[in-house]
Amino acid sequence: MIKTEKVLHLNSSKGRKVRVVREHYVREQVSCGSSLCQADCRNDGKVLSGDVTHCVVPDVGVVRDFLEILEFRELQGIVLTQTAYQTVQHTRGRRQYNRLRALLKDPRHDCVLFANEFQQYCYCPRDKGESQDKWHTRNVYNAAVWYYNHLAGLQPVVMITEDSDAISEFSALNSGVYVISTKEYLLSFWPDLQAAHDLYNSIAQTLQERESEGVEKVYTEHLPAEVLEAGIKSGRYIQGILSVNKHQAQLEAFVRYEGSASKNTELNSDVLINGAKHHNRAVHGDVVVIELLPRNEWKGRTMALTEGQGEEQPLEDTQSQPMPSGRVVGILQRNWRDYVVTFPPLEEVQSQSRNSQKILVIPWDYRIPKIRISTQQAEALQDRRVIVRLDSWESTSVYPTGHCVRVLGKAGELETEIQTILVENCIHVPTFSEAQLREMPVNTEENPWQMDTSEVSSRRDLRDTHLVFSIDPKGCEDVDDTLSVRTLPGGKRLELGVHIADVTYFVREGSLTDLEARSRATTCYLADRRYDMLPAVLSADLCSLLGGVDRYAMSVLWELDAETLDVCTVWYGRTLIRSSYQLHYELAQSLLNGEEIEVPELSRLKGSQRDQKLAELLQGLETLTRVARHLRAQRDKGGALELEGVEVRAQLDEEKNITALVPKQPLEVHETVAECMIYANHWVARKIQESFPHQALLRHHPPPKQEFFNHLIGCAKARGFSIDTRSNRALADSLERAVDPQDPLVNKLMRMMATQAMSNALYFSTGACPEEQYYHYGLALDRYTHFTSPIRRYADVLVHRLLMAAIQLEEEGSLSKPFASNKELEELAQHINNKNRAAQHAQKQSTELFQCLYFRDKDTHTDERCVADAVIYAVRTNGFLAFVPQYGLKGAVYLKNREGQVVSVDGDGRCEWKAGIFTFSVRISVEPSRCHADSLCLELISNKPHCAVQPESLPAGRGRSELVQEVVRWAEEASIQAEEERGRKSKLSREEKQFRQSRTPSLYVLLQEISELALLDLSVCAPFESGLILLTEVLS
Amino acid sequence: MAGLELLSDQGYRLDGRKASELRKVQARTSVFAQADGSAYLEQGNTKALAVVYGPHETRGSRSKSLHDRAVINCQYSMATFSTAERKRRPHGDRKSSEMSLHLKQTFEAAVLTELYPRSQIDIYVKILQADGGNYSACVNAATLALVDAGIPMRDYVCACTAGFVEDTPLADLCHAEESGGGMSLALALLPRNGNIALLQMDARLHQDHLDALIEAAMTACKGLSKVLDGVVRQHLEEVSVLTRD
């Protein structure tokens, strides 16, 4: 090692310039990270593949400004220099730095970091008077030359830079390294990668624009970070996350406190930030620092319902009590993501600005301000939805500037809208790459997959001893749970078994599939399709516990006392099973009801043999039901909640036509399966928590805040019920009592409101949470986790690994490799929570999309289907919020339109004000919106119920499932027509394949979600958005 | 601006060292002729000068002297030009007094004071340039000065700091690492028998990590002792060559 020195000029803590001398050690051996390395560098970790045609060394400026281009996975062989890496760290925010780090860590991405500044022959000290940029570029060039020589010229090295001086200077030196500009590089090496070219142009233009900015100030400048920090410490400023009101995006935003920094008791609520001036360029989700305004400037929040979302409207005296108000003085952390925007039609573009290069586009999300974009493709892009990234928001500009990233498609088309929903929720689901699929075992006709003999011998074989069966919805492909129950010899004990697909056997930790599954975290179900977490060969075949084939499983076996059903012993471990029956819920229920029904697996058998088998199965099912009832009763004693659930479910045949509608009540067998799964989850949670007290992944459900129940209590009081919310037990009991025999909807609505008062159940690492917070409020269990669906949830995969580690720890006393630390696990838990929330939002938004598409072409005045009953559940100053049980819709109904006219009630003319719930009829129509998602509009037409209250006779074909099917059919037809117009044969296969994906997940999933209250995040959704929609959607 | 990254994913520290590597150590003894013993030591960019007087009669009040062993008197100071911004008060402030006390404790454990009853040994240390690890530079320099003065000691006293970042112990912290968050542990070791002369840490650290951290600091101290030993031997050679003539 050789010691040199480096002189830096830094700002001291007091803000003065200080000259600092730092040591700098350089060495000869620095790992190069290339598989072609000739000098046997010690390359551990990621290595560049050797089969690329060249490697590319981007300059500092390229990494700083064009990082997004380097993120294309198609670009391979990228060598990032430490010089560039550190520049990003010092000059750009933490977000971009983290993105760069993630890029380097991602094994799917072919790039490495080369620590050039620590390499003896690469590092050159800064010359006197040399500018920093020049010095950096020189260093990067030196690194490129060294790299070329290090690989002994086996691979051409290209350095890309944005500095034209550097190109001319270094190209002249004949060192074997090509120095070209980024544009030239893309053109000559990646001519086909159109997306990268577009992105490059878009970023370059934005950079150019930024240089030629005006100077007129629109907003006050943000304060420097030191001042903010000092202000927060002294209590003068407050730190929090800005959340913009969806319905008043320009006007209202709130800041919620982080932590308990403020001791000021009167500030226990959120702080209102009123008006764009006070927002001061903060965007929804940013971490901001605010200053409170003097008390005489405080405003109240708007209570009125507004129709024109996002548009500024004169506010009259609709404001409530003044609340603490403030203004943003600085932003600590931007939280920008990719936004979907819509380009305006051409006419508007020209009127917007004189030079048509800058265009204001409108984001899909109401909470985001309009974005200014420089592009020359305005004509081509009109009415398209486009992904945009924000670059900056100068104080001289009214709107933030951004650049285009990718075009999604024409607004209003089904595909575009679905893509929009995915992007807006940050769900990234590319098709599985070849490298990932190569890891998968093969199972084809010619080459069937076979079990490993060593695996067979190391696992407990349950194939001959246990009667294993699965109960799922009809047509389910990914069977991840099976059950078994038997009486042990002697008759004193029962053995209950839950066998879960052994995904971790196939998905090894750290493999590409594992990383992909981790980043997806969950299978995402939309209204008409699903995006799998694991490749289909696993999820629908090798992991899936199908009937009649040998499969690997993870099992939990309980020995229960046959009389009292108390647990005597528990066994966890890896097993081999062969599921004998793949039942579906209806079949199982019919069997239990003693009906004569054909079991497909037994149709080949005859006579007494068949009767015997059937009796065996039946006995198993009955025992299972008995056990499940007992378990449920035990949990009820603890205070488990039962919340509002399902309505109608449609069954489909091959052509996606509805063949039958399943009755509304869930069958008992649903609950039986769900109960066994909850039990398995509970026991696994206990096991891993005991073995790993500081690093087990559990799931808890914090008790809800009491003030959220106020609305429910008020509503219940109006109907004469009292709701006790002191504990989950009391709540469950009082909900049980709140039944109006005349109107079954009342209880349903009550339960729905109770659901909305709850917070989400969340994953966490046991080391990050005190033990008393492990409690699961909804299920009334002290430990809970997710174990039973590893095919569609990553959390379960983690829990499987933890369980295996726990078993190993018990048997061998040590672990073969250390498990993730508490910190890592907690980060992972947060990630999974976020992804789950995003998936749920996407699901809900896709449902709304289908609702809108369904009603779009209906004539609102003539079509019967557009008139429905609704129930009021909350009243605002100019309207009320209503629930339409028939479609599971919720929405606002206005009693006053924009012209100020008020709805008058004639006929008997009496309009009584009474609180609570009453029924009336509404007309549903679609309010078209070009830039945002369409929304449904409810219109009051009569204060009498449209059809007399007889919920049983509601036309059953009006369920949500039908709605989705119909819309899908339209889309299909439209695409077929389009195909035909092009003079080709209609090709259904693609659509069919795509849409057949929408297999129903098991109903157990649904019940579990209901009981776990994994509902919407209350803080994000508009008040009282439907939780029900979400739940029913899981079914369809 | 994103914060400093004390240990990169590739295992490099800010200045290019790996986690267990020490800074470059250079030292010279007998730099001043007037004092009984003196040494100059550079540990990276931290530069220290140590001067030893004694053992001699107790100066000042007699009451301070001890009947069975020598009193060790330490004074630590920093040059006004030692830091990036000029220091106002070179010695006598709270930090310096604490450091003097620590030095005193360290050397009371190492010097065979019982050989010199009723006398006094003065150790003056000055930091000429501060770049982290001031305490350890002072101890190492003072050890050399004591050796130079011919005062018998149980062993070399070697000191080194160690920090802890992302589950990895870092040896011999520089200023940027000391001030960039995280914690620092100072250890003075008598390397031959592994006795600890002084261990000091004023930060929170999980108990589980403490052993690993001390282990890292001890390894670093043992490395340092070799360097110091080399310096002493080389000096001896030079001196003996001179005296032979």
Strand partners, B26: B42
Cβ–Cβ contact A125 with B under 8 A? no
Distance from CA of A265 to the nearest CA of B (A): 32
**3-class DSSP state of B153:** strand
Model confidence at A404, in pLDDT bands (50, 70, 90)? confident
Q: Please choose, from the candidates B70, B67, B152, the residue with its C-alpha nearest in 3D space to the C-alpha of residue B119.
A: B70
Give the nearest chain B residue to A33 (CA atoms): B10
Contact A997, A991 (CB under 8 A): no
The domains of chain B are located at 7-243
Cβ–Cβ contact A12 with B under 8 A? yes
Contact B174, B160 (CB under 8 A): no
Domains assigned to chain A: 27-192 (3.40.50.1010), 193-214+336-411 (2.40.50.700), 223-304+319-335 (2.40.50.690), 434-442+454-601+610-640 (no CATH), 668-847 (no CATH), 864-942 (2.40.50)
Distance from CA of A414 to the nearest CA of B (A): 41
Q: Is the pLDDT of residue A396 over 80?
A: no
Nearest-CB residue to A89 (from B2, B16, B176): B2
CA A514 from centre of chain: 18
Residue with tokens 């695409």: A975
Residue A594 has which token pair? 């003693």
Site from A2, A3, A79 to mutate, B interface, most B CB atoms within 10 angstroms:
A3
Cβ–Cβ contact A317 with B under 8 A? no
Residues A288-296, mean pLDDT to the nearest whole number: 82
What is residue A910's predicted lDDT score, i.e. its pLDDT?
37
| Pure H helices in A701-758 | 710-718, 728-737, 744-757
Rounded distance between C-alpha atoms, residue A816 and residue A797, angstroms: 18
Nearest-CB residue to A21 (from B1, B45, B167): B45
Rounded distance between C-alpha atoms, residue A796 and residue A800, angstroms: 6
Nearest-CB residue to B15 (from A23, A104, A113): A23
Distance from CA of A1034 to the nearest CA of B (A): 42
Q: Is the pLDDT of residue B196 over 90?
A: yes
- From chain A, the residues in CB contact with B15 under 8 A are 22-25
Residue with tokens 């919106």: A929
Rounded to 5°, the CA angle A938-A944-A945 comes to 70
| Pure H helices in A425-496 | 434-438, 453-458
Residue B198 has which token pair? 């002084």
Nearest-CB residue to B2 (from A12, A94, A115): A94
CATH of the domain spanning B7-243, picked from 2.60.40.4070, 1.10.3470.10, 3.30.230.70, 1.10.10.10: 3.30.230.70
Q: In what order do the strands lie in the sheet with B168-171?
A: B168-171, B158-165, B184-190, B195-201
Rounded distance between C-alpha atoms, residue A923 and residue A864, angstroms: 9
Instruction: Answer yes or no: do B5 and A89 touch at CB < 8 A.
Output: yes
Strand partners, A159: A57, A179
Nearest-CB residue to A18 (from B1, B23, B84): B84
**3-class DSSP state of A326:** strand
How far is the first Cα of chain B from the last one, in angstroms, to the nearest whole number? 63
Tell me which of A257-261, B79-83, B168-172 is least confident.
A257-261
Q: Please choose, from the candidates B157, B156, B166, the residue with its C-alpha nearest in 3D space to the C-alpha of residue B135.
A: B157
* Region of A405 on the Ramachandran plot (φ > 0 left; ψ -120 to 50 alpha; else beta): alpha
Model confidence at A342, in pLDDT bands (50, 70, 90)? confident
Residue A554 has which token pair? 């993870």
Please compute, for residue A370, the number of CA atoms within 13 A of its CA located in the half-sphere on the CB side: 16
**3-class DSSP state of A398:** coil
Distance from CA of B11 to the nearest CA of A (A): 10
Which residues make Cβ contacts (< 8 Å) with residue B206, sequence separation at least 6? none
Nearest-CB residue to A23 (from B3, B44, B84): B44
Instruction: Answer yes or no: do A31 and B45 touch at CB < 8 A.
Output: no
Q: Is the pLDDT of residue B155 over 90?
A: yes
Rounded distance between C-alpha atoms, residue A525 and residue A1001, angstroms: 9
Give the nearest chain B residue to A89 (CA atoms): B2
Instruction: Answer yes or no: do B16 and A27 touch at CB < 8 A.
Output: yes
Cβ–Cβ contact A25 with B under 8 A? yes
- Residue A797: burial class (beta carbons within 10 Å; 0-12, 13-18, 19+): buried
Cβ–Cβ contact A9 with B under 8 A? no
Rounded distance between C-alpha atoms, residue B73 and residue B125, angstroms: 11
Q: Please choose, from the candidates B131, B175, A18, the residue with its C-alpha nearest in 3D space to the C-alpha of residue A8.
A: A18
pLDDT in tens, A719-775: 777 777 778 888 888 877 777 777 666 777 777 777 777 778 889 888 888 888 888
DSSP state, residue A866: G
Query: What residues 760-789 of chain A have any CB closer than 8 A to a CB of chain B?
Result: none
Cβ–Cβ contact A298 with B under 8 A? no
Rounded distance between C-alpha atoms, residue A435 and residue A75, angstroms: 16
- From chain A, the residues in CB contact with B8 under 8 A are 115
Cβ–Cβ contact A121 with B under 8 A? no
Question: In this structure, how many other beta carbons lie within 10 angstroms of the beta carbon of residue A447?
Answer: 9
Cβ–Cβ contact A16 with B under 8 A? yes
Rounded to 5°, the CA angle A6-A9-A11 comes to 140
Give the nearest chain A residue to B177 (CA atoms): A22
**3-class DSSP state of A992:** helix
DSSP labels for A687-717? HHHHH-TTS-EEEEBPPPPGGGGHHHHHHHH
What is residue A989's predicted lDDT score, i.e. its pLDDT?
35
Cβ burial B139-173 (10 Å sphere, 16+ → b, else e): bbbbbbbbbbbebebebbbbbbbbbbbeebbbbbb
**3-class DSSP state of A426:** coil
Question: Strand locations in A324-392, DSSP E?
Answer: 325-333, 338-342, 358-363, 371-374, 384-392
Give the nearest chain A residue to B166 (CA atoms): A823
Rounded distance between C-alpha atoms, residue A409 and residue A380, angstroms: 11
In this structure, chain B runs to a length of 245
- From chain A, the residues in CB contact with B223 under 8 A are none
Tell me which of A569-578, B40-49, B52-61 is least confident.
B52-61
Instruction: Answer yes or no: do A117 and B176 touch at CB < 8 A.
Output: no
Greater confidence (A246 vs A166) lies with A166
Q: Please choose, from the candidates A720, A685, A892, the residue with its C-alpha nearest in 3D space to the C-alpha of residue A798.
A: A685
* Greatest Cα pair distance in chain B: 63
Peptide bond into A369 cis (omega under 30): no
Which residues make Cβ contacts (< 8 Å) with residue A67, sequence separation at least 6? A88, A96, A99, A100, A103
What is residue B97's predicted lDDT score, i.e. its pLDDT?
92
Which residues make Cβ contacts (< 8 Å) with residue A731, sequence separation at least 6? A639, A641, A723, A724, A725, A754
pLDDT in tens, A644-669: 543 333 333 343 333 333 444 567 78
Rounded to 5°, the CA angle A362-A363-A368 comes to 110
Instruction: Answer yes or no: do B9 and A3 touch at CB < 8 A.
Output: no
Nearest-CB residue to A22 (from B1, B5, B176): B176
Site from A9, A19, A25, A333 to mutate, B interface, most B CB atoms within 10 angstroms:
A25
What is residue A1's predicted lDDT score, i.e. its pLDDT?
63
Query: What residues 821-880 of chain A have any CB closer than 8 A to a CB of chain B?
Result: 821
Contact A684, A692 (CB under 8 A): no
pLDDT in tens, B197-207: 999 998 888 88
pLDDT in tens, A602-634: 777 777 778 888 888 888 888 888 888 888 888
Residue with tokens 């609520």: A269
DSSP state, residue A673: H
Q: Is residue A557 within a helix (H) or strand (E), and if so which, with residue range? A: strand A550-561
Instruction: State if pTM tops 0.80.
Output: no
Give the nearest chain A residue to B2 (CA atoms): A94
Contact A527, A440 (CB under 8 A): no
Model confidence at B219, in pLDDT bands (50, 70, 90)? very high
Q: Is the pLDDT of residue B141 over 90?
A: yes
Contact A688, A785 (CB under 8 A): yes
**Which amino acid type is present at position A484?**
S
Nearest-CB residue to A115 (from B12, B44, B85): B12
What distances in angstroms separate CA B76 from CA A477, A757, B104, B122, one per listed residue?
77, 64, 10, 11
Give the nearest chain B residue to A105 (CA atoms): B9
Contact A46, A103 (CB under 8 A): no
Q: Is the pLDDT of residue A917 over 70?
A: no
Cβ burial A526-542 (10 Å sphere, 16+ → b, else e): bbbbbbbbbbebbbbbb
Strand partners, A241: A256, A287
Cβ burial B63-73 (10 Å sphere, 16+ → b, else e): eebeeebbbbb
Tell me which of A324-328, A762-766, A782-786 is least confident.
A324-328
DSSP state, residue B22: P
Strand partners, B123: B52, B74
What is residue A978's predicted lDDT score, i.e. its pLDDT?
53
Instruction: Answer yes or no: do A92 and B174 touch at CB < 8 A.
Output: no
Residues A331-349, mean pLDDT to the nearest whole number: 77
Please compute, for residue A891, the number of CA atoms within 13 A of its CA located in the half-sphere on the CB side: 26
Q: Please choose, from the candidates A715, A699, A700, the residue with its C-alpha nearest in 3D space to the C-alpha of residue A754.
A: A715
What is residue A952's predicted lDDT score, i.e. its pLDDT?
33
Cβ pairs bridging A and B (under 8 Å): 69
Rounded distance between C-alpha atoms, residue A198 and residue A200, angstroms: 5
Rounded distance between C-alpha atoms, residue A965 and residue A623, angstroms: 38
Residue A151 has which token pair? 């690989």
DSSP state, residue A790: T
Question: In this structure, how many other beta carbons lie within 10 angstroms of the beta carbon of residue B235?
Answer: 18
- From chain A, the residues in CB contact with B23 under 8 A are 3, 23
Tell me the Cα Rg of chain A.
31
Instruction: Answer yes or no: do A89 and B15 touch at CB < 8 A.
Output: no
